[in-house]
Structure 1
Amino acid sequence: MTAAHPMDPSGAAVHADGDALREAGAACPVLLPGGVPGMIVSRHKELRDFLADPKVAKNARHFAAYQRGEIPAAWQLNAFALVNGMTTADGDDHRRLRGLATKAFTPRRVAAMRPWIEELTGVLLAALPGHRDADGVVDLRRHFAYPLPMGVICELLGVDVRHRDGLHQLTHTMVSTSSGAAEAMAAQAGIHAVLGQVVADRRAAPGEDLTSALIAARDDDLDGGAERLSDEELIGTLLLMIVAGHETTLNLITNAVRALCGHPEQLALVLAGEASWDAVVEETLRWDSPVANFPFRYPTTDIEVGGVTVPRGTPVLAGYVAAGRDPREYGPDADRFDITRPATRHLAFGHGAHYCLGAPLARLEAVITLRELYAAYPGLRLAVPDASLPPLAGFIGNSVSKLPVRLE
């Protein structure tokens, strides 16, 4: 087995690191923050099979080093390993929690949000010129790609406007592997405090939002208590929704605009009606996944992944960004952004029992925002060379931290 690859907490080269790990083996040993040993699966077929393997769990009771007391109480990735909610649940617990959350993402409810998303997009577009600096440059990530999905998920959850910017800053700190352990843990505590207030607000004044529905599941004796949420599960589920509901879509929109700026011939196809915005979104998800490497899954027994043994209880990263450019799946031009590429199944939203519930909503948001953005500014272009764009800190999310553009 190859030597363990230290995961770069800065996220300065997630694609280069991902490509190297993918070509080194189907499953590779890595060193996580704090020197914690783990592994990563980065090839498309092997990752797809791994994500759906019933011998692979999500709950930290299967995390061998944690159970042996070898993981520090303050660890940068504790929020991913130890949060008590749908993303770390298995079996019946996962089905129970997912069943409750699914009510917010039915096709009918997602479709009903289209007019609201279109209205918010219009408001943000109208405000964009006012955000230009003295040189006529606007940070599209900050002033457009961020407030749209944050507004949508908070509307869905019934989170008051006053909490939104604070939640964004806290969740960004929590998920960034470049944060120190104490900083990440403090951010997690801050999120729990804010979400506790959101729950108190919605309990006092219930609405048609998901938080009110989850509170009802928490407080009511449904099916003899079979569907009841614990307090920790309620907060953990809301935390998951906030993070997954805006961070990933923020990255998706940012990455799509960046890709189109770097591939004007592809943009021309869409503007000429020769390709769809849906194709842009799907190719962006494949070519520049919003999530680079997602923690964690734990084999419940030693398993083979592409001829490599992954020991029981190993924390395993899902290498989405590398799998999206796997030439074994997408051919020798896998590293080329091509919106005319024949439809193929990517893994950007996961696979198996934990497939992202919010995928239809994220797709809807991205298509609407890109369509309306380029209808208003078809000549939009980067204000700086692409190579100078600052990467998003951390090896979990994948994007740039700023997207300076000129509105033309």
Structure 2
Amino acid sequence: MQPIDLLIEARWVVPVEPHGVVFEHHAVAVDGGRIVALLPVADARARYVPRERVVLDEHALIPGLVNAHTHNPMTLMRGLADDLPLMRWLQEHIWPAEAKAIGPEFVRDGIELAVAEMLRGGTTCCSENYFFPDVQAATYRRLGFRAMVGLPIIEFPSAWAATRDEYFDRGLAVHDEFRGEPLLGTSFAPHAPYTVSDESFERIRLLSDQLDLPVHLHLHETAHEVEDAKRERGARPFARMQSLGIVNDHLIAVHMTQLTDAEIAACAEAGVAVVHCPESNLKLASGFCPAEKLRRAGVKLAIGTDGCASNNDLDMFGEMRTAALLAKAVAEDASALDAASALRAATLGGAFALGWSERVGSIEAGKQADLAAVRLDDIETQPLYNVVSQLVYVTGRQQVSDVWIAGARKLRDRVLPDVDLGEVREKARRWRERIAGAA
């Protein structure tokens, strides 16, 4: 018999790949942080001698959820300026508050709060888009959380950088410092077409190709953005990105609520990944991403929460449900973005968007053991006819019991063994007093 680190035996295993399949009474064998095998429990017990065995009698074991677009330090701004349109929200509230609060400590403390929330909701990986990427990366590394850290590019000065060259120089230094970290990656994170120049995009395109880095970009978030671009530049932002060479298989395009059929086809042909952030888009009245059209066209579709200042949570179970329901309304088709496809977008779709589909996103031999266990015996999830439908349309994040990242247990029966929740709460309270006082 073969010794291994960990054997997780579950009532159901939902591997995501193959698509829509559910295995009952199966086990996942893990060794050295990687999945060794997925097989029936009886076979696993006959083949392996685990150093640790976890038995999940009434749980579904799923891949860890991938939050493909977020601004996690902004968790400290949760609820700061609600019920406002996007540009007023940004210009009159968020940007002024950031100018007074942002710095290394704000970023560190916000990420600590966000990681605790994400782990308790079954999320094991995020794609980050904020300032001070050096602090972000160091914090994610310390917490053992998988993250794609964005290197911010914007045309106006911030607490992170004063000039265009400084944004590039400091960002590339962060890439060099953390490039060997097993749980971390970097992407270029130009804010949006309306805040980044052609010269910066041209430089990003060149460096993205040279370094093989994704480009994480807010794009076609609102009709207002598109109309302004047409009036000021004579072209839609997507067309401008095409002319600059940004529309390719490195592009992670976030929001994409304003799309023509031709633009959808261009995304599919170029290999663009689209991150759907339904709850943020609904809350800010930004528009509706045509998720089902994108999926049917073959576009890589992922799901993100956006930041807590505009959502106001990091609940990927809630986001999956909203994405599936909204897709049906937008497509006027009850079969649109079915449960299995929504779960795929929140797991393997996010991994594809980040360029990490060979590492995470599904329960397959050879991949990193990023896993989440979800209790399905609660009264709210009874009776149970279809596991995948129950996960998407019924399950709440409070039903996540256990989480592993690269085989390391990060949540144990709803307890975070590596996090002092009292300290996290106290830091959040101090930031609330500071930010509210400044406002």
Q: Higher relative contact order by CA 8 Å / sep ≥ 6: 1 or 2?
A: 1
- Normalised by the length of structure 2, the TM-score is 0.27
- Normalised by the length of structure 1, the TM-score is 0.29
